[in-house]
Amino acid sequence: VSFLDPSHYEVVKKTEELVNFRVADFDEVIQPGTEELKVAEIAMEAISPGRTDIRVKEMVLWTDSGEKVVRQGNTVSVEVNLGPIGRSAYPPRDPDGDGLYEDINGDGELTETDAFILAFNLESKYIRENPSLFDFDWDGRVSFSDAVELIRKIG
Question: What would the pLDDT profile of 52-111 be if each residue is shown by its tens digit?
Answer: 888 888 888 787 788 888 888 888 888 888 999 999 999 999 999 999 999 999 999 999
DSSP-assigned states of every residue in 24-83: --TT--S-TT------EE-----SS-EEEEEE--EEEEE-TTS-EEEEE--EEEEEE-PP
Q: What is the pTM of this model?
A: 0.63
**Domain extent listing, the chain:** 2-80, 82-155
